[in-house]
Structure 1
Amino acid sequence: MDNLFRRTGIDVPEPVRRFLQGESDPWLRVEEYQDGNTMVVRTDIPGIDPDKDIDITVTDNTLLIVARRREPAHKDQPGYRSEVRYGEYSRSIPRPRGANPDTVEARYIDGVLEIRAQLPEQSATSGTKIHVSRGGHQSPEAPENYAT
């Protein structure tokens, strides 16, 4: 498909080109793990300016990352070919209920965005075991006060 576009000289916008080539997976692939009582989310976003090109929003139970990679000025030069993805991409990551949005911190180092969020204290809750009865009909020796 790329060769067809190049041979005909058609300038196809990046999102359209990716769609036509079957690239539908999210650009912002993340790595998530827990470090003690901290949730850590990391994603590779090289070649951007974090002050201008990254927006992080925290709601009660969602962490939303929006990143933009702008097309370079030299894209109109003869012979230009690129396999780099440009445009705006977003990713929503569920956060545990009760997590304080004021504890979220983000760093961008060497093309890697790392977001850390404190997890809420986990209280030791004891569960109650529930008995599961068998069958759909009642046996003759069932107690009389048991409703059928």
Structure 2
Amino acid sequence: MSTIMKRAANPFADLLGWLETESAAMRTFGSAPYIRVEDFVEDDNYVVRAEMPGVDPDKDIQIDVAGDVLTIHGERREEEHDRNRSELHYGSFERTLPLPRGAKAEEIRATYTNGVLEVRVPYAADEPKATRVAIEHNGS
């Protein structure tokens, strides 16, 4: 026969657990929860990858471009369970990112694989052109 052992009270461990849970909640205080992203340039594309596990990309993710701003909006729907702990966020979340100059909004492509949304934004990199200016001589 097995017996269930009670864990000895450890106020320090309890405090660390509380701080970890509360700091996650504080990161989103006063705004929609944060979507963690990475972005980089690859070839002639600005690429954004966003962690969005547990969502249906066809129903729960919306990507909009307005001017030079990319907005990713999503929603994670809560499932009904009897649970002891829940540290997952349910509800809507959003992230807005500036697009590089020359972004081609009509050519943006997005894919969703293994909980990661990848948005590829083609753009024409405008390289500054060097121009030599002639100096005019007036008088003397």
TM-score, normalised with respect to structure 1: 0.65
Contact residue 101 and residue 125 of structure 2 kept, 8 A: no
The partner residue of 2:77 within 60, 70, 92 is 70
- 2:90 is the counterpart of 1:89: no
Aligned match of 2:111 in 92, 101, 107?
A: 107
By how many angstroms is 1:86 displaced?
1.1
Deviation of 1:45 after TM superposition, in Å, equals 0.7
Which residue number in structure 2 is paired with residue 58 of structure 1?
Answer: 65
Name the count of aligned residue pairs.
110
> How far off its partner does 1:24 sit?
2.6
For structure 2, the 5+ residue unaligned runs are 1-20, 133-140
- What amino acid sits opposite 1:67 in the alignment? G
Deviations 1:47-90 (A, max 9, x none): 1100010000012200000011111122xx2x442111111111
Aligned residue type for 1:98: G
**Which structure has the larger Rg over C-alpha atoms?**
1
Structural RMSD (CA) = 2.6
Deviates more, 1:26-35 or 1:103-112: 26-35
Identity percentage of aligned residues: 38
3-state SS in 1 of match to 2:92 = strand
5 Å matches for 1:108-123? Answer: 108-123=112-127
The code of the aligned residue for 1:95 comes to: L
Opposite residue 93 of structure 1, the aligned amino acid is L
Shift of 1:112: 0.5
Map 1:1-148 onto structure 2 (within 5 A).
21-24=25-28, 26-74=33-81, 77=82, 79-126=83-130
Distance 2:42 2:89 in 1: 31
Cα distance in 1 for residues equivalent to 2:78 and 2:65:
28
Look up the equivalent residue of 1:97 and give its one-letter code.
R
Structure 1 spans left out of the alignment, 5+ residues:
1-16, 129-148
**Moved segments of 4+, more than 2 Å:** 17-27
Pairwise CA distance, 1:93: 0.6
